[in-house]
Chain A
Amino acid sequence: MRPGRLIGKTVLALAGFMAVFPLLWTALNSLKNNVDIITRVPRLVFTPTLANISYIIGRDSVMIGLYNSVIACGVAVLIGVVLGLPAAYSVARYPNRWAGDIQFFVLSLRFLPPVAVAIPLMVIWLQLGLYDTLAALIVTYSLLTISVIMWLAIPAFQAVPKEVEEAAFVDGYGAYSVFWRIALPVAARSLTGAVAFSFVLVWNEFLIALMLSSSNAKTLPIVASELSQQGMNVPWGILNASVVLLSLPPLLFLGVLSGFLNSVFRQKKT
């Protein structure tokens, strides 16, 4: 068993290394001058520079992309919370004979190929004169956030002990204040995870943003992908810096999301 364990541990360590090294390498490259990147033998020792990062931050297109991403994703997530959480609570606590169908409908929205949604939406927004606006992007993203938040929040509300809510009813709380004062706070941790997940999903979204924007409403992923289309003439360090900037916001949620994952599986155990 001994050598087996050793091999197992080595494989795991290698996988852990593979998980983060490419990203760390990108972050390192964002601090390099071009001469230190374009080398046949990778260079670990180099004189670091902040030129790439300051170039990225100083570019208007990047800042506008960042602004668009923050607004579009923020508002869409907010809409998802306002519409998705109550609906999820209602499905979880007041099940009717359509509850299964509603859940399936919400999930089935995820089957829709993004191109199949993006092409007609582009035509529709063009006709309404809303093409290439943040409003169009927000409405489109809301479909994503509402359905994902609903899908993840239903089990979160179901996990709230029924007795707690029953007791509140006995104390004379109405249905709405039970939702507001009991269910929401008790399920808050799982719900935060669900909301964070929906944010990461729309932040990372690419195809719909690409098809629904041409200049004004470009989100950060689109701006980043365009930097590279100028070919390899753009210094790699700058491209790497833009990748780092794009990747930071979702990584901020790493703690919340791994906690969410843990709580989901702790529920299953009991």
Chain B
Amino acid sequence: MARRSSLPVTFIVPTLAILLVLSMVPTLYAIVIALQNRELSSTAYSYVWFSNFYDLFFDRRFLNAVWVSVKWEIVTVAATMAVAIGLGVLMFEVASPRLRNIYCLLFIIPVLLPRVSAAFVWKFAYHPLYGIATYPYRLLTGGLIFDPLSKPATALFAVASVDVWQWGLFFAVIVLKLLETLPPQPIEAARLDHAKRWQIHAYVTLPMLKAPLISLMFVKMIESLRSFDLIYVMTRGGPGVATETLDMYAFSQGFIESGKVSYASAMAVLMMIATVITFTMLWKRVQA
């Protein structure tokens, strides 16, 4: 296909130029703002260099937000992968082709919903008095009240369950499709050796899918960074700071509580550096 043509240049240069401008201008500007002391309430500002970053390290709420974000990543990624592999293998084992198609359609629905919608749906469902998800508890305990979203111990998990509801079910479909692409011979061979069903998956099929499963996990790690919508609608970071992730804290510092735009931007810049470094390293690993 090495034909001489202007096509590669005319097709890619404008697009790349626009992408570069659209991404680099905000990123660089985020760093500039982080070095200043801008506030929403006034237009005056000056350069304070690294003092925002310095302050962050002594901000207990920031350190809490880092910890909440790390917890959120671990919980949602692990639970999503567990649900996806569990249901994917189950569909592969017990569902007929027609049933598989139906399940695949059903399992894609939650992930298509706007996060705001998903958050509302479950916020209602978790309502302690009138919620449909808490109804079985009321029924079994004779009307005791369980309010998962307002208890610090359960709030994060309650919100994370919505994320897993959206992504775990969707990834189950992908795991099934991956299993379907495998050649049948190794599975047959294992079956002839009297391997049990779970052994076949644990020792044959899942190891064969190691690379795509790791890529899948990588995608989920990136998507888990976008927790803001769920948390904003369901708990606003509460109760207290139990579900306050970094983006939630940055948002409330910058726009709700104090309007410290530069302080919020410093946080966002730290987040950006951490994610870009982590994911670049992971990506090179995955590709290698």
Q: Judge: A and B partners, yes or no.
A: yes
Q: Would A150 and B15 be within 8 Å (CB), given that A112-B23, A166-B1, A221-B116 are in contact?
A: yes
Q: Is the CB of A246 within 8 A of B116?
A: yes
Within 8 A of B (CB), among A228-248: 228, 236, 239-240, 243, 246-247
Q: Evaluate whether A115 and B271 lie within 8 angstroms (CB atoms) in the complex, with A37-B130, A40-B138 already known.
A: yes
Q: Indicate whether B50 reaches chain A with its CB closer than 8 angstroms.
A: no
The yes or no answer to A45 lying at the interface (CB within 8 A) is: no
CB-CB < 8 A to A221: which residues of B? 114, 116-117, 229
B140, CB-defined interface residue at 8 Å: no
In the complex the two chains form, is B3's CB within 8 Å of A12's CB?
Answer: no
Best-buried of A15, A105, A122 by chain B (most CB within 10 Å):
A15
Q: Which residue of A lies closest to B166 (CB)?
A: A19
A269 to chain B, nearest CB (A): 5
Q: Which residues of A contact B276 (CB under 8 A)?
A: 108, 111-112
Query: Nearest chain-A residue to B93 (Cβ)?
Result: A8
Give the one of B99, B116, B197 with max A CB within 10 A.
B116
Question: Quick one: CB contact mask for A194-212 with B, threshold 8 Å, 1 for yes?
Answer: 0000001001101100110
Q: SS class of chain B's interface: helix, strand, loop or mixed?
A: helix
Given that A23-B121, A124-B26 are known contacts, is A225 also in contact with B232, CB under 8 Å in the complex?
Answer: yes
Say if the beta carbon of A59 comes within 8 Å of chain B: no
User: Which of B5, B112, B255, B261 is within 8 Å of A253, CB to CB?
Assistant: B112
Contacting residues, chain A, for B156 (C-beta < 8 A): none
User: Apart from A107-B283, A175-B3, A211-B251, what are 18 other A-B pairs with CB-CB below 8 Å?
Assistant: A15-B103, A90-B8, A108-B280, A111-B275, A114-B228, A115-B228, A115-B246, A115-B247, A119-B254, A123-B29, A207-B226, A221-B114, A228-B120, A239-B120, A243-B120, A246-B117, A251-B113, A261-B177
Ordered by A's residue number, 30 sampled pairs between the chains whose C-beta atoms are within 8 Å are: A8-B94, A15-B169, A19-B169, A23-B113, A25-B132, A26-B120, A42-B132, A83-B15, A86-B10, A86-B15, A87-B15, A111-B222, A111-B279, A112-B275, A115-B246, A115-B251, A116-B27, A117-B27, A119-B264, A120-B27, A121-B26, A142-B18, A142-B22, A143-B19, A175-B3, A175-B6, A224-B120, A247-B117, A250-B113, A254-B112
Question: Is B12 touching A91 in the complex (CB atoms < 8 A)?
Answer: yes
Q: Are A206 and B15 in contact (CB under 8 A)?
A: no
Check if B192 is an interface residue, CB within 8 A of chain A: no
Contact in complex: A207, B113 (CB < 8 Å): no
Report A-chain residues with C-beta under 8 Å of the C-beta of B27: 112, 116-117, 120
| Residue of B whose beta carbon sits closest to that of A15 | B87
Binary flags per residue of B148-170, CB closer than 8 Å to A gives 1, else 0: 00000000000000000100010
In contact, A246 and B19 (Cβ under 8 angstroms): no
Using Cβ atoms and an 8 Å threshold, which residues of chain A touch B172? 15
B11 near A119: Cβ-Cβ < 8 Å: no
Which of chain A's residues have a CB closer than 8 A to the CB of B110? Answer: 19, 23
Shortest distance from the beta carbon of A57 to any chain B beta carbon, whole Å: 17
Tell me, yes or no, whether B186 is within 8 Å of chain A by CB. Answer: no
When chains A and B are docked, how far (Å) is the Cα of A66 from the Cα of B114?
A: 14
A247-B114 contact in complex given A109-B19, A116-B272, C-beta closer than 8 Å? yes
The interface size bin for chain B is: 35 or more
Bitwise interface map of A from 79 to 114 toward B, beta carbon under 8 Å scored 1, else 0 = 000011011011101101000001011111111111
A16 contacts the other chain (Cβ, under 8 Å)? yes
User: Which residues does A use to contact B, with CB under 8 Å?
Assistant: 1, 4-5, 8-9, 11-12, 15-16, 18-20, 22-23, 25-26, 29, 37-42, 83-84, 86-87, 89-91, 93-94, 96, 102, 104-117, 119-124, 139-140, 142-143, 146-147, 150, 162, 165-166, 169, 174-176, 179, 200, 203-204, 206-207, 210-211, 221, 224-225, 228, 236, 239-240, 243, 246-247, 250-251, 253-254, 257-258, 261-262, 265, 268-269
Whole-angstrom distance from the CB of A186 to the nearest CB of chain B? 15
- B173 to chain A: which residues have CB within 8 Å? 261
With both chains docked as a complex, state the minimum distance between the C-beta of A209 and any C-beta of chain B, in angstroms.
Answer: 10
If A123-B261, A224-B120 touch, whether A94 touches B174 (CB-CB below 8 Å) is: no
What residues on A are CB-neighbors of B15 within 8 Å?
83-84, 86-87, 146, 150
Near A by CB (< 8 A), chain B positions 247-285 give: 247, 250-251, 254-255, 261, 264-265, 267-269, 271-272, 275-276, 279-280, 283
| B25 CB-CB contact with A under 8 Å | yes
Nearest opposing residue in chain B for A162, CB measure:
B1
Chain A residues with Cβ below 8 Å from B229 are 206-207, 221
Q: Check: B135 CB closer than 8 A to any chain A CB.
A: yes
User: For the complex, is B62 an interface residue (Cβ under 8 Å from A)?
Assistant: no
B95 — which chain A residues lie within 8 A by C-beta? 9, 12
- 1/0 per position for B17-41, CB-CB distance to A under 8 A? 0110011011101101100001000
